[in-house]
Every structure is written in C-alpha cells, then in structure tokens.
Amino acid sequence: MIASLGRILILASLLAAAAGAILGFAAGRTRSADGLKWARRFAYLYSALIVGAALIMVYALLIHDFSVSYVAQVGSRSVPTWVTVVSLWSSLEGSILFWGMVMGLYIAAATFLTRGRYAEYQPDAIGVWLACAAFFSFLIAGPANPFHTVPNPPLDGPGPNPLLQNHILMAIHPPFLYLGYVGFVIPFGFACAALLKGRLGHNVLKPLRESLMLPWIFQSVAIMLGGWWAYEVLGWGGYWAWDPVENASLLPWLTATAALHSIMVVERRGILKGWTITLIQATFLLVILGTFMTRSGVFNSVHSFTQSAIGPTILGFLAAALLFTIALLAFRIDKLESEGRIEGAGSREAMFLLNNLIFVLLTFTVLIGTVFPLVVEAVKGKQMSVGRPYFDSMTVPLGALLLFLLGVGPALPWGRATKEQIKKALIPPVAGAVVFAALGYVLGVRAPWTLLTLAFGGYAAYVTLAQMFVPMFQRMKSGESLGTALIDGQLRRGRRRFASYIVHAAAVLAIIAIAVSSSNRQQLELHFTKGQTQQAGGYDVTFLGVEQRQEPHRLSTVGVFNVMQGGKQVARLEPNMNQYQMMREPIGTPDVHTTALRDFYISLSNVDARAETASITVFIAPMVVWIWLAVIAMAVGALFGLIPAMRRGVIPSAARDPLPGAAETA
C-alpha cells in the first residue's frame, strides 16, 4: 500500500518536473508571462510531490512496514528511533530519495524568493532546475527505486550499517552535506540562464551570489562534520585521509569558494564574467561527479553501497550536463561583455585572479589524484590508489600560498595603486607574521611548512583585523560613539564587508589549526594489564579494567582508563568495542578528551574481557578543537553577511573605494 503510494508520487514528480522544465525553457524563448507563471506552479507541484514521497518513506520506516523494499533493507525494530529516521539516508536508494527531497525544497524556495523579479533569467533558471530534478526523479522511479513491494515481508530487518549507528554526528553530517551539494543546482540554473540570455546583468548578481553562498555554508560545515565524525568514530586519530569520498565533498567546495571571490570582481569591476559563470557551472558538474563516485560503488567505503545500474545512469547525466555546459559556454561566453580590465599586478582584482588560479590548481590536484585510479582501472583493469603523500605534498604549498594571498589581497586597494600605497599597505602586517611565527617556535613548532603557515597566518590576521576594525576607529575619531560606530557602521551598513572578514579570520584560524595539529602530533602504542599505569607524553594513564554493557542493539566492551597529569585527574576515557547484531566483527569507537590546547585520544586496538588486558593507541594532538570551531565561525560569519542589508543595493564600502569605471577615466 505505502509502496504503491510512494511509486505514484515519484512518477507524478517526474511528470511535473519534466513538464515544468519544458514550460520554463519555452517561456524563456517566448518571454510569455503566463508560461513563466505555469513553470513556477509546476516547480511548486514537483517540490510538494517529492517531499511527500520522502515523508512517506520516513513514515514507513517509523511504523516498520517491511513490505516496502527499502524498509526491509535498512529497517530494524531493535534500533533507537533516531537511527530509524537516519536510515532514510543510510543506504543507496533512500539517500537518493533524500537528495530529491532536498532538491524539491531548494527549488521551491528559490522559485518563491525570486518570483516577480529577474523576469529575464527566471524562466530558464526554472527550466534548468526542473530538468535536473526530472533526472533525479527518473533515477528514483527506475534504477534506485526504494518503493518496491516485498511480497513476503520479513518480521524484522538488519538495520543500517553499524558504523553509521555509532555516533550522533551521523544524523547531522549527511543533511548538511545534501543541503550543500544539492543547493549548488540553484546558482547553476542562474548561470545557465545568464548564458542562454547572453547577458550577466548587475541585477542578477545578488541572487547568484546568495544562492551560491548558502549551499557553500552548508558544504563547509558538512566537510568539517565529516572530518569530525571520522575523528570521533574511526579511531585512527585523524580527520582527513584524502579518501575519494572526502575529496568528492571538497572539490565543489573549492570551485564554489573561488566563484564567491570572482563574483565580487564582477560586482566591482564588471570583469571576469565568463570565468565566474564557468566556475559556478564547474561546481555543479563536480557535484554530479561526486554523486557518481560515492553512489555507484566504484569506490568502496562507508558511503558507497553495492554495484548497481545507478552508476551508469548518473554517468550518463554527468556527460549530458557536461556537453550542455560546454556547448553553452562555447556559443555564448563571448556575449558576456567585459566592462573593464585588470589595472595592474598590484591591485586587489589581480590578487582575486591569483586566488582563483590557486583554487583551480587545488581542484585539479585533488581531481587528478582521485580520478586517476578510476581511469587506470577502467582502461587496464588494475587496481590502485594514489597515496596520501601526493595530496599532502601538492596541497600544502598551494594552501600556504592561498593563506599568503588571504593577507595580501585585502590589504591592496582596488584599481591602480601607486608604489607608495602598496608599500604602506604591505609592510606593517609583517609584524603579525613575526609574532605568530615566534610564538609557534617558542611553543615547540619546528616543521618549516608549519612555521611558514604561522607567518602567513600572522600576516593575514593583522590585515584582516585591521580591515575589520580600522573603519570603526576612523568613525570614532570623527566623533561617533563606540556603539554607533560598531552597530551602524560595522553591523548594519558594513555588514557584508564585516562578515567577509569574520570568515577570513576564521579561515586563518582553521588553516593554522590544521597545520599545527598535523605536524605536532604524537602517537604511541601501549599494552596494559588491569591496574597498570604507564606514561604517555606527559600524561599518566591507568587501565582500570573492562566493563561490558548490553544495549538493545549492541553489546559494548569498554576499556576504562584514568588519565592524570602532574598528579591531577584529567579525564576518565572509555574507548570501546561494539558488537552489533547481524555483524560478525565488532567495531571500535575511540574516546577523546578535548581541551582548548590539545586533545588526548585513546583508540582501543585489542581488548580481552576475561584476562582484562588491553592494547591501545594514544594520539596527542594540539589545537584540534579549533578546526571545528573555526569552520563553525566561518559559517556563522557567512550567514551574518547574508542577512539583507539595511540599505538595499548599495555595496557597503563603495564610498571609500573608487567606483567601478572610475579608475579607467582617472
């Protein structure tokens, strides 16, 4: 019953999306107002149908209706309710249904928020969104159908992958990732619409930028949550392994970050239009590539499931989207008229261009390293992977260079600058570089790349803080009170500018924390018998014994450790081994004691409940928590910048910097 209803909703959503896409493109050609109205109605209808289908699946999971094939596959009566809800995206078919639901929400919201405006671009944008939506509805209706009817329903099911039941972060990370990934379809639609019209007007930059920023925020948090989850659950003491699945989430983030920067150059100077459009389109294509890599079984990991017809279908869609994009770019990119040009190597726009090039190089580095093994396997049938040193040795210098530009770029003025101005802007921040590097050295940092990162970070921090607060001090000097200067100048009129520097400051912190935590990490292996105490990097670790805990869905074998430092109790850590029903092997979960300065991390490699012995791996890493906090700060800062400005349509700092075009005439 539920299965049939689900199938009907999916088929209806496919029809609604296809009809809406055709109407949208037709209205784009004929400029018919009625056509646009109907395209919008179909967009809402599609959203309602696909969201309805996903909610019906959640309902089927909650009432344990094992006659629905997906419920029979991942449902279980013995798991907690939150795991049951999370099961929606714990396996292949459900995850694509969830993808469809997020797409429905995005398309409805974007259609609603841009209604009555951007009449030039909206019909084609809706056409592109619904064309993509139609593909995913087709995928759910056919190759990835979760709504098959099971003729003889079982009484109970196996439950989702135990690794996904092990931590509450698994309930949070996937929704954020989908809200990031899927959301990039919206700016993709605007970008394609701009090319179809052959014009990227100033008025469409706002929805383009904002629709790119929102999924970027979700994606940033999702990548961090994925790393945090790996750190808290997998037990190898790290958070990033250059696993293909991790790379799949990073690739579109890199191009989106580049586009968010280049779009500012379009706003300010009317240049880099075609380049920005290309970056936005590449972002969505990388999303489709990432979906293919994680959903087709070409890479096996926590995220991928079995081989299926879904892989080739997504690959077909990727090929079609790629061809469409290339054709569109080839025929239309010349129409996007440039309104100026880059004034000189010492200008801010030149730094933006350099920043973009580095982001693109990073994208290529990661893309090549990820896709190369796939190509070799497809061509020669040999299996291999690209090892971590490749990614580290390539991305560390590029990342350091990016951090350097993060300092230099905002210090330089827009347009043409004199040598004197450049000198005045670039020399004082060196103080910040010296302070950070010296501080790091005193605290024990010796790795050259990390010291360099600290120096660049200090430089960037100086520039960022100066950009954040100098305007405020100037206002105070001219007689304004601290309150007015802060609230009116920074938080209201200068909101976007202020927000972007919050993001920059947080990015500096994140990069420093990543560099320091990975280069100053200690790793020890220890073996214990009950009651024994051993030294581990300045800590005294005592093994108190083994406890066994029976929970409804698993049996936990817990090693209990007491951690002391200088005779003082620091933490009681309980890394454990969990034996799930229906699984042969137990799965370990580490335990971490987090402080502002460093993390103390115990992973259980071996525990014997009878003999009360345990072998553990201890990781001691500084500053890890600041990675998570910095990314959250980046997201909050970016969100803050999205709040509509009090004075619509005014670029915050336009009064101080030369207006677009002013430099050419000067």
Partner 1 sequence: MTESDKVRRKTRLFMLGAFVVAGIAFTVIAASGISENLVYYWTPSDLQANGQKAYGANIRLGGMVAKGSIKKLGGSAVEFIVHDGKTRVPVKTSTVPPQMFRENIGVVVEGTMVPGGYFQSSRLMVSHNNEYKAPEKGHPVDRKELERMMKSVEQGNS
User: Taking CB under 8 A as the rule, does residue 586 contact partner 1?
Assistant: yes
Of the two residues 394 and 438, which places its CB atom closer to partner 1 in the complex? 394
Compute the distance between CA of residue 243 and CA of residue 360 in angstroms, rounded to an integer: 20
Q: Does 301 bind partner 1 (CB under 8 A)?
A: yes
> Is 308 near partner 1 (CB under 8 A)?
no
- Angle between the N-to-C axes of helices 185-197 and 310-332, in degrees from 0 to 180, rounded to the nearest 10: 30
Partner residues linked to 401 by β-bridges: none
β-pairing, 598-608 vs 613-622, is antiparallel
Q: Are 155 and 18 in contact (CB under 8 A)?
A: no
Q: Judging by DSSP bridges, how do beta strands 613-622 and 522-529 pair with one another?
A: antiparallel
Q: 270: phi > 0 → left, psi -120 to 50 → alpha, else beta; which? A: left
Strand partners, 226: none
User: Does residue 559 belong to the site contacting partner 1 (CB under 8 A)?
Assistant: no
Q: How far is the CB of 305 from partner 1 (least distance, A)?
A: 11
Q: Which stretch binds partner 1 (CB under 8 A): 256-264, 380-388, 407-415, 534-542?
A: 380-388
- Which CB, 60 or 526, lies closer to partner 1? 526
Of the ranges 30-38, 125-133, 273-281, 378-386, which one interacts with partner 1 (CB under 8 A)? 378-386
Nearest residue to 285 via CA among 456, 132, 481, 116: 132
Distances in Å between the alpha carbon of 343 and those of 136, 515, 661, 663?
A: 45, 35, 11, 8
Of 147, 149, 123, which Cα lies nearest the Cα of 22?
123
- Residue 565: left if φ>0, alpha if ψ -120 to 50, beta else—which one? beta
Site stretch for partner 1 (CB under 8 A), options 171-179, 199-207, 256-264, 298-306: 298-306
Alpha helices in 31-91 (DSSP H): 33-62, 69-74, 81-86
**Of the residues 11, 447, 465, 583, which one makes contact with partner 1 according to CB under 8 A:** 583
Amino acid at 356: N
The first and second tokens of residue 547, run together, are 């406890």
Instruction: Select the residue interacting with partner 1 from 41, 167, 199, 388 (CB under 8 A).
Output: 388
Kindly state the number of chain residues that form the binding site for partner 1, as judged by CB under 8 A.
43
606 binds partner 1 (CB under 8 A): yes
Query: Is residue 592 part of the contact set for partner 1 (CB under 8 A)?
Result: no
**Residue 418 within binding range of partner 1, rule CB under 8 A:** no
Among 199, 615, 657, 658, binds partner 1 (CB under 8 A): 615
Part in contact with partner 1 (CB under 8 A); list of ranges 17-25, 50-58, 343-351, 604-612: 604-612
Choosing from 44, 59, 324, 372, the residue that interacts with partner 1 (CB under 8 A) is 372
For position 420 contacting partner 1 by CB under 8 A, the verdict is no
Side chain identity, residue 4: S
User: Shortest distance, CB of residue 577 to partner 1, whole angstroms?
Assistant: 6
- Residue with tokens 């061809």, as numbered in its chain: 323
Our finding on whether 165 is near partner 1 (CB under 8 A) is no
Whether 138 and 85 have beta carbons less than 8 Å apart is answered as no
Residue (7 or 303) nearer to partner 1, CB: 303
* Two tokens, residue 137: 């509805």
Binding-site member from 69, 149, 308, 385 for partner 1 (CB under 8 A): 385
- Least CB distance from residue 8 to partner 1, whole Å? 35
Q: Does 215 bind partner 1 (CB under 8 A)?
A: no
Longest dimension (CA), the chain: 84
Sign of CA dihedral 217, 223, 229, 231: negative
Residue 529 as a binder of partner 1 (CB under 8 A): the answer is no
Q: Determine, following the binding rule CB under 8 A, whether residue 481 of this chain makes contact with partner 1.
A: no
Binding test (CB under 8 A) with partner 1, winner from 365, 450, 518, 520: 365
Q: How far is the CB of 341 from partner 1 (least distance, A)?
A: 8
71-79, 113-121, 252-260, 360-368 -> range binding partner 1 (CB under 8 A):
360-368
Q: Is 608 helix (H, G, I), strand (E, B) or coil?
A: strand
**Going by C-beta distance under 8 Å and a sequence separation of 6 or more, which residues neighbour residue 649?**
none
What one-letter code names the amino acid at 555? Answer: L
Question: Given candidates 585, 596, 648, 666, which one binds partner 1 under the rule CB under 8 A?
Answer: 585
> In angstroms, how far is CA 277 from the centroid of its own chain?
20
Binding of partner 1 by 4 (CB under 8 A): no
**Considering only CA atoms, which of 85, 118, 92 is closest in space to residue 190?**
118
> CB count, 10 Å around CB of 488?
15
Nearest C-alpha neighbor of 97 from the set 127, 60, 64, 65: 60
- Applying CB under 8 A, among 532, 605, 613, 653 the residue interacting with partner 1 is 605
Q: Is 665 in the site for partner 1 (CB under 8 A)?
A: no
Q: Does 163 bind partner 1 (CB under 8 A)?
A: yes
Q: How far is the CB of 365 from partner 1 (least distance, A)?
A: 6
Alpha carbons 8 and 88: distance in angstroms, whole number = 19
**Of 53-61, 230-238, 269-277, 467-475, which segment contacts partner 1 by CB under 8 A?**
230-238
The residue (of 204 and 230) whose beta carbon lies closer to partner 1 is 230
**Alpha-carbon 335 to chain mean position:** 32
Binds partner 1 (CB under 8 A): choice among 81, 152, 383, 665? 383
Tell me the three state secondary structure of residue 67. Answer: coil
Options 38, 59, 236, 324; binder of partner 1; rule CB under 8 A:
236
Based on its alpha-carbon atoms, the radius of gyration of the chain, rounded to whole angstroms, reads 27
Least gap, CB of 512 to partner 1 (angstroms): 25
**Backbone φ, ψ for residue 155 (5° rounding):** -80, -25
Least distance CB 92 / partner 1 (angstroms): 15
The answer to whether residue 490 forms part of the interface with partner 1 (CB under 8 A) is no
Distance in angstroms (rounded) separating the CA atoms of residues 437 and 453: 8
Tokens of 646: 């009090």
Is 389 a binding residue for partner 1 by CB under 8 A? The answer is: yes
Does residue 343 sit in helix, strand or coil?
Answer: coil
Q: Does 350 help bind partner 1 (rule: CB under 8 A)?
A: no
CB of 390 to partner 1, least distance (A): 4
For partner 1, the binding residue among 339, 525, 547, 551 (CB under 8 A) is: 525
Site string for partner 1, 263-292 (x = CB under 8 A): ------------------------------
38 binds partner 1 (CB under 8 A): no
List helix spans (H) across 65-158.
69-74, 81-86, 92-113, 122-141
How far apart (Å, rounded) are the C-alpha atoms in residues 131 and 128?
5
What residue has token string 């259980």?
604
Work out how close the CB of 556 gets to partner 1 at its nearest, in angstroms, rounded to a whole number.
13
Q: Is 384 in the site for partner 1 (CB under 8 A)?
A: yes
CB 373, min distance to partner 1, A = 8
Should residue 374 be labelled a site residue for partner 1 when binding is judged by CB under 8 A? no
Q: Which is nearer to partner 1, 364 or 441 (CB)?
A: 364
Residue 397 belongs to what H/E stretch? Answer: helix 388-411
Q: Which residues bind partner 1 (CB under 8 A)?
A: 163, 230, 234-236, 238, 241, 243, 299-302, 361, 364-365, 368-369, 372, 382-390, 393-394, 525, 527, 577, 583-586, 588, 604-607, 615, 617
